[in-house]
Amino acid sequence: MNSRLFPVVVLFLVTAFLIGPFFIIVAASVSGGETLAFPPQGLSLKWVAKVFQVESFRESFAMSMLLAIGGTGAALVLGIPASYALSRYRLPFGETIRTVVALPIIVPGIIVGLALLRYLVVPFRFNITLALFLAHTALVLPYAVRVVSASLNNLRSDIEEAAVLLGSSRAGAFFRVVMPNIRSGILAAFILGFVTSFNQVPVSLFLSGPGVRTLPIDMLSYMEITYDPSVAALSALLAFMSIGIVFIAERFLGFSRYV
């Protein structure tokens, strides 16, 4: 094949494969018909409207938002000091700490969820929402440490030493010199953590109970009983939400270098 045409064809096909399904969901969700179909049978926003009327979707959306914001916040509260200590000092057991903190990314989420259900929720009658919160925090922690460490490593450590020599306290040097300089890294970690937690399924599979369910789990079970386009509409809305977040993040942070 022509060597100039080949890359264009490859990029077209790959983009169509990666992004195409998204357009199909959007098209299916504005269908006027009763069942899922493409091309859509007439135009209507009734399925988009229905998404907002299903009560369980509203509840599980609130739950997922809470977990994503709270879990990522907690992971950053744990992760920022840890990244700071790991990047600035040669700690005893430093490698062990790094590995333990990074493990939740390697071990399949479904196992974490099952283990928490079996050894925390069942024997101690532990609150499921709280267990979900802990699981999501553990899940986001590796991303928080990785992204924050990366931006700390790009920051020269002599400016904080200068601040301390000029009379600032150590905590003061951290909050007034280091924090402002790694703000965009922290924001990128928050966005990555939020998206990871919000879209997470396997960890939450076993951790659901009466009235406690995350949105993706709710979508999975809704899919099993109905075949109407409302899940497509919800998927499209969620995709638009993600695109909005990524677009804003890319605009202000150059987000893709952190992923």
Partner 1 sequence: MFHSRAEALALALPAAVFAAVVFLAPVVILLAEGFRNAEGWSVAAYTGFLSDPLNRTVFLRTLRLGATVTVVAAVIGYAAAFAIVNLPPTAKGRMIGLVVLPLMISPVARTYAWIVILGRTGIVNQALTSVGLTDEPIRFLFTETAVFVGLLQLFLPLMILALISALENMPKDAIPAARVLGANWFQVFWKVILPLTKEGLVIGGTLVFTGSLTAYITPAILGGSKVLMLETLLFQRVTVANDFVSASVIAFILIVMSFAANLLLKRLATARSKR
Binding positions for partner 1, 162-181, rule CB under 8 A: 164, 170
In whole angstroms, how far apart are CA 159 and each of 91, 163, 197? 21, 6, 34
Q: Give the chain's end-to-end CA distance (angstroms, integer).
A: 34
Q: Which of residues 48-67 bind partner 1 (CB under 8 A)?
A: none
258/250 Cα distance (integer angstroms): 10
Q: Which of residues 18-37 bind partner 1 (CB under 8 A)?
A: 18-19, 21-22, 24-25, 28, 35-37
- 17 binds partner 1 per the rule CB under 8 A: yes
To partner 1, the closest distance from the beta carbon of 211 in angstroms equals 19
133/136 Cα distance (integer angstroms): 5
To partner 1, the closest distance from the beta carbon of 55 in angstroms equals 19
Q: Which of 54, 69, 134, 187 binds partner 1 (CB under 8 A)?
A: 134
Q: Which of 161, 162, 172, 209 binds partner 1 (CB under 8 A)?
A: 161
45-53, 54-62, 74-82, 180-188 -> range binding partner 1 (CB under 8 A)? 74-82
Residue 59: partners with Cβ closer than 8 Å, 6 or more residues away = 211, 213
Residue nearer to partner 1 on the CB measure, 17 or 55: 17
To partner 1, the closest distance from the beta carbon of 117 in angstroms equals 9
Q: How many other C-beta atoms are found inside a 10 Å radius of the C-beta of residue 140?
A: 31
- 206 binds partner 1 per the rule CB under 8 A: yes
To partner 1, the closest distance from the beta carbon of 132 in angstroms equals 11
Instruction: Report how far Cα 209 is from the mean position of its chain's Cα atoms.
Output: 22
Residue nearer to partner 1 on the CB measure, 12 or 49: 12
Burial of 10: CB neighbours in 10 Å, binned 0-12, 13-18, 19+: exposed
To partner 1, the closest distance from the beta carbon of 242 in angstroms equals 4
Number of residues in contact with partner 1, rule: CB under 8 A?
85
44-52, 54-62, 180-188, 213-221 -> range binding partner 1 (CB under 8 A)? 213-221
Half-sphere exposure of 130 (CA within 13 A, CB side): 6
51/30 Cα distance (integer angstroms): 12
Angle at 49 between CA 248 and CA 195, to 5 degrees: 30
Q: Which of 86, 182, 188, 189 binds partner 1 (CB under 8 A)?
A: 86
Angle at 98 between CA 93 and CA 102, to 5 degrees: 150
